[in-house]
């Protein structure tokens, strides 16, 4: 199932939940730094039916910087730093009403065919 608002910490898919997302992407190649990009997004959900409430609310904010190596032996290796902040009105989601995390992500595509 594809959910447009399924992001780092939450899917925003509880029963009767309505959600919206605002996102901004910036490709630094247009400023002379190929391979570097930034992204920030905010998702807000409300009206969720959960075990403890009929009007659960949650929101999440993600900020990310990513660099993809452009040439050499590590070409296409991407290094990403993502900070996520998640808040919920009742703590039902993920067992906590408040989550803050920092992820360091390295990704390297393998062509095995």
- Mean pLDDT for the stretch of residues 22-47: 95
Q: What is the helix (H) or strand (E) element at residue 101, kind and residue range?
A: strand 98-107
Checking phi first, is residue 66 left (phi over 0); if not, alpha (psi -120 to 50) or beta? beta
Q: What is the pTM of this model?
A: 0.80
Residue 12: exposure state from Cβ atoms within 10 A (0-12, 13-18, ≥19): buried
pLDDT of residue 46: 85
**Helices (H) then strands (E): counts for the chain:** 0, 5
Comparing 3 with 43, the larger pLDDT belongs to: 43
**Domain layout of the chain by residue ranges:** 18-107
């Amino acid at each position: 199932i594809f959910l447009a608002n399924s992001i780092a910490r939450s899917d925003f898919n509880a029963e009767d939940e309505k959600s919206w997302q605002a996102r901004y992407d910036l490709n630094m190649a247009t400023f002379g730094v190929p391979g570097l990009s930034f992204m920030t997004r905010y998702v807000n959900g409300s009206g969720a039916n959960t075990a403890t409430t009929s009007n659960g609310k949650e929101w999440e904010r993600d900020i990310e910087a990513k660099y993809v190596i452009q040439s050499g032996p590590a070409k296409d290796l991407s290094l990403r730093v993502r900070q996520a902040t998640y808040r919920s009105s009742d703590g039902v989601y993920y067992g906590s009403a408040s989550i803050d995390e920092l992820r360091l992500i390295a990704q390297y595509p393998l062509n095995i065919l």
